[in-house]
Structure 1
């Protein structure tokens, strides 16, 4: 039991660290945008992520460090292609064009919509459990985003609309990345960065975007490595432990970090509307962070491969070819199991619930088999 609780706590920490890195990247990218076209900036950020993670990946092999993560399989490639298109190409393009049209502080807070989009798609499309607390938190975040986007009358801030489109693209990306979350996160983020960055670079050059100086290229690459590459690795690990909706909810910390840095670095004004929107979004984030989910649930027989230690969910036997030590990764089988403990919809707890469960536990009789 202790290991399962530790796994959930570790997932929260990973999601929050991912949010912190991504949140910091927004005002830093805004600083660089004065010298770079939005399309070129999108390419540099993802190429920085891809090249940086490639160096990490190659160093790991050169140093003969143990490969404890499951590799990507051929069956993963279609999902990876859609993830690259939605999250690696469309998402950053919408964000960079949106950043060019709005203040970085507003843009940072509007990025809360990514968590909302992630949660909504996870709930409505993939039927991941979302309780009333998460929905109330989501509506609070949406109210803050609407306050930032409204210009008075029937007018909309088109920069805000573009950022909302980026959040929708990343919401699709996050939900599909869940299908890859048992595989090596460095490999996933590396491929995504290299492919998306290269495609965006080709499109930027075709559109006549000028190539910036070496200093700007290096700066954008560093921002991309930490804000998009390392952040994505941590996000994938968070998905493994928390599921999509909860990881997206914890990721809602990112906009607040970006907003604070925007005020400090860019000296943008602190307006009443900004404070009010931030308050709505802070309430939503607090509701998400204080959620607790526990009920009796059933694990049906399941076979898969991922990095793991031997806990109450991994009481399988090993053959002679199994890797020694823990944690390790190999194909293994889960026997049927019925128990009760606090949990998130991680890769072992994707069971069905009522569409909206109440409070901290699912209603009696709602415990269904894991998927």
Structure 2
């Protein structure tokens, strides 16, 4: 039970870091092109996490951290996640932010959690309980209210771009789940080191120029926290909560963005803004209070990840074992049938 609450806290921490980066990106757009902001965000993430990986290995030489290396079979999932979430997502977000108020943009980002859950449910067959579904309905209703304008003939282009960014990140989240057993820092670092230069190349190709050193540093530090550390925490949460639930908790991100944006640009939001906020808050509450428990059977499973010898890890060792936990090694899960509260984590991806 404590491990589950810890995973929820990790997901919420990821949401806070990502949500806070949105209004800061809005502020930086005044002096940089959207692709330049996205490129510096991811480059800062990749370089910062890369430095962290090097320091980690220097501090504990010879220690096996987190998980095994990314296998060749997992590379298509990883590169697909990088293309969707590291290139398309941030570019669409930055373009949308340039014509959409920061507070509205922050709340529209709630749709990422909804779209993540829908893809997990429909495409990857992850279980979604009725409370999660009702929460998605409430969040979608809030997003529609934010996008709708009286007298307008359609959804504003800026809002559509942000919704497109949410869809890109939803695809990214579901693909990232396929590689979430690996080292979270390595996954996030690779995304930053690939997505950063790609976005910068697009920025330079479209005539953008590099801003001053202070602005570059501010953007890269924001990216390290909001895109780098946030993604590391998100990947860790994916292992324990599954894609739909992690996406649901991550929906709290816009609330942090709204709070920060209203501090940067003080104004009194409209009535529709508060109604949308209430609807999205209801959706998040329904997600948070969901509890999933039933009798289930674990099929035989062999994989490698960092673990303790809990009820799901009762196995023998084919190497000298000194009782050190947690530890990492290939291990086999034997069939077991039991009942307890659980999420669709790496050990609970069963049919219902």
Q: TM-score, normalised by structure 1?
A: 0.92
Residue 99 of structure 1, CA deviation: 0.4
Distance 1:62 1:311 in 2: 30
Alignment partner, residue 365 of structure 1: none
Alignment partner, residue 49 of structure 1: 45
Report if aligned partners of 1:301, 1:333 keep a CA contact under 8 Å in 2. yes
Alignment partner, residue 68 of structure 1: 65
Distance 1:35 1:251 in 2: 29
Cα distance change, pair 321–43 in 1 and its aligned pair in 2 (3 A): farther
Which deviates the most, 226-235 or 264-273?
A: 264-273
Residue 322 of structure 1, CA deviation: 6.0
Distance 1:127 1:322 in 2: 38
Distance 1:87 1:248 in 2: 14
Distance 2:65 2:12 in 1: 23
Alignment partner, residue 38 of structure 1: 34
Alignment partner, residue 178 of structure 2: 179
Cα distance change, pair 43–13 in 1 and its aligned pair in 2 (3 A): same
Alignment partner, residue 104 of structure 1: 102
Distance 1:262 1:271 in 2: 15
Q: Once superposed, what is the RMSD of the aligned Cα atoms?
A: 1.1
Report if aligned partners of 1:189, 1:229 keep a CA contact under 8 Å in 2. yes
Distance 2:228 2:284 in 1: 24
Match of 2:92 among 94, 99, 103: 94
Which deviates the most, 13-22 or 259-268?
A: 259-268
Alignment partner, residue 278 of structure 2: 279
Alignment partner, residue 142 of structure 1: 140
Q: Please show how residues 100-139 of structure 1 align to structure 2 within 5 Å.
A: 100-139=98-137
Q: TM-score, normalised by structure 2?
A: 0.97
Which deviates the most, 269-278 or 320-329?
A: 320-329
Q: Which runs of 5+ in 2 are unaligned?
A: none
Q: Which runs of 5+ in 1 are unaligned?
A: 354-371
Distance 2:286 2:252 in 1: 12
Residue 260 of structure 1, CA deviation: 1.2
Q: Please show how residues 95-244 of structure 1 align to structure 2 within 5 Å.
A: 95-153=93-151, 154-244=153-243
Q: Work out the number of aligned pairs and report it.
A: 349
